[in-house]
Every structure is written in structure tokens, then in C-alpha cells.
Amino acid sequence: MSATNQIQTKLTSDYTIRAEGFNAIDIVLEELGFNAHAVFKELGLNSEILLPSNRNKKIDYQRFLELLNHCAFITGRKDFGVLLSAYQDMNVIGMTGQAMLEAPTFRTAMENLIKFFHLHMNGLKVGFEEYQSESLISLQVVMPFAPEYRQQVELSLGIGVRFVRRLLGQSWSPVQAYFEHAKDRGSSTTSKLFRCPINYQSEFNGYTIRNQELDTLRENFNSQLHQILYDYLCLQTRTTQGSFVMDVRENIIQAINSGECSIEDLCESMGIQRRTLQRRLAQNGHLYKNLLEETRMDLAQRYLRISGISVTQISDILCYADPTGFSRSFRRYHGVSPRHWRNAL
């Protein structure tokens, strides 16, 4: 294994998903004419993770993404994630989903999701940004050097759309939807589900909702049960601490997105002293400058997959002083230039 691969394996080893996230993959495969047990075996996965008794077992998140991609490939269904979303609902994310189903408003449900989603999986992050008349619900895969994650994104956003319809009525639809991937033959299924204008090859994945819908009071919700579930999830969060390196890396991504990715900016946002940050990273076998560069190179790959974004734009997004510096760093890390890497796709 090369040094680069060893670093990437080290960075991804802490990212997991509860086995319940695999729910109904076997049903969709068998409906499409494939033997689910054989498909799982091809990837070295035991299909017993589908059993209800194993639903809280933690599975390597990268294996989950690889399975979704493999299912889409062998079935020839680029819309596999969307198809799977019809069989999953918020219950698939455990207690967090149950709390959302008892929330009085969609806003409260989203607050619960953002606060507790990591208890189900920690490789995917939910974002919520409120603007003047609309709010953006977005998804970002934060596990470094993740395999292609289109299926995961369409699965999760599909579950989300069905959940909002459960709260606000079946006639509801987002204002607009956004996907990083290009439009293809699987897009018709996505259009039928979302029932709104869809922007492909976007810089992010998500959809917008009207602000006036956020605080619509639901008729049937159990405030007492919601409080019990919320208190339990708070307890779970206190006893389930993520790794310090994961936390720093996610803060680096946020800093890059805001255009302020110096170590000083990061320390200020985390409320930590520079020497403390460097010492704790060193205790975990990392240097800040290396972690920053690894995160940049991971994000660079993701942006290079979006053909509508130029290398110059990517350089600017990743806070490089100029495109030459970005290309030099990319070649040093990946062995080829950004343009060659993109062409090889």
C-alpha cells in the first residue's frame, strides 16, 4: 500500500453507518432480478447485517457507498438510490428519525436531524441555511476520499422529500433541487420524485424550501414523546464522542467554504489555542498542514468531477493564491495534473 493510500485509509477508518441504513437494499435488488445475498458476497459483506437484530451494528461507511455504487452498476440503474428511497423513511436513522416524526414543526425536525444525525452515520453531514424567503437543505459527504456518492445523495434527499410530504402533505414539492452529478438516463426518476426544477452539475447537493412552510404546526404530534426522545438523544451524544481529527477536518471544510482557511481562523472558530490544536493533532499522528492539504486534495477531486467548474475556479474555492500553486500541489499529491486527472474520468 502506498503512503498516500495509507493516509487515506487512516483518515476514513473512523467513519461508520448503522446497519439499519442497508435496509431494503435486498428488496430493490430482487425486484430488479438480482440475488441480494450473492451481491453482498461479491463485496465481502455478510447479508446478515440486514437482520433486525443487527440494525445498530456499526459498518464501515466506505463499504456502504461501495455497495450502493455496485448495485447501480450491475443493475444498470443510475437511479438506484432514488428507487431505494421509496422503501426507507426516517425510521431508518433510528431514534433521531423517531424524534423527527414527533416534532411539532419541520423546523424542529431539521434541528433534531442536524444535531443527532451523526449517531446514525458520521460520514454525511446535513446542512440548513435560512435566507430571506427560502431555506437550503444540503448534504455533504465529509468522509475523506469517499468513493462516488451520487447514490447516497439521491437516497438521502429522496427520503427527505418523502418525509416533508408526510409533514406538509403529498402535494408538497421543493422550490428547486441541486445535484453535483450530470443529467443522464436516471434523471427522469429523480424528476418524478422531486416534482420541481432540478439543477445538475451544481456545486452542492440539496434542495430549497419556502420559509413559510418551516413553522407550520402539525396536527398530530406527541410533544411529550418528542421530549423523551430528545433527552435520550442528548445523552447518547454525550456518550458518543467523535475523534478530534474528524472534528478538525470538518472545521477545515467549513473554513474553506467560507474562504478563511488559515490556522488562526480555524482555531478561532473551534475556540482552541494554536499550540493545543497542533499538540492534539500530533498525539493522533497528524500535522495541521498535512491535514489541510489532504482535505484540499479530497475536495479538489470532488470539484473536478463537476465539469462546469474550471481548474482556476477550483483553485480559488480551495483558497490557493493562484492556479499554479494548486496544480503543483495536486500533482505532488496525485502524481498527475488536475486536467489530466479530470480527463482520465
Q: What is the CATH number of the domain that holds 323?
A: 1.10.10.60
pLDDT in tens, 269-295: 889 999 999 999 898 888 898 888 998
pLDDT band at 11 (very low <50, low <70, confident <90, very high): low
Q: Which residue segment(s) compose the domain that 338 sits in?
A: 244-344
Q: Between 146 and 9, whose confidence is greater?
A: 146
Residues 19 and 113 in one domain: yes
The domain boundary residue, chosen from 238, 261, 276? 238
The domain boundary residue, chosen from 188, 208, 238? 238
Residues 232 and 324 in one domain: no
Q: Give the pLDDT score at 241.
A: 57
Q: Give the pLDDT score at 244.
A: 84
Q: Give the pLDDT score at 233.
A: 92
Residues 89 and 118 in one domain: yes
The mean-pLDDT minimum among 4-13, 39-48, 100-109, 195-204 falls in 4-13
Residues 53 and 89 in one domain: yes
Residues 220 and 290 in one domain: no
The domain boundary residue, chosen from 210, 238, 266? 238
Residues 153 and 297 in one domain: no
Residues 259 and 213 in one domain: no
Is pTM beyond 0.75 here?
A: yes
Residues 270 and 156 in one domain: no
**pLDDT over threshold 90, residue 263:** no
- The dihedral through the CA atoms of 323, 251, 285, 61 has a sign that is negative
pLDDT band at 243 (very low <50, low <70, confident <90, very high): confident
Average of per-residue pLDDT across 29-53: 95
Average of per-residue pLDDT across 296-303: 90
Residues 76 and 154 in one domain: yes
Provide the number of structural domains found in the chain: 2
Residues 225 and 325 in one domain: no
Residues 42 and 183 in one domain: yes
Residues 234 and 252 in one domain: no
Q: Give the pLDDT score at 1.
A: 47
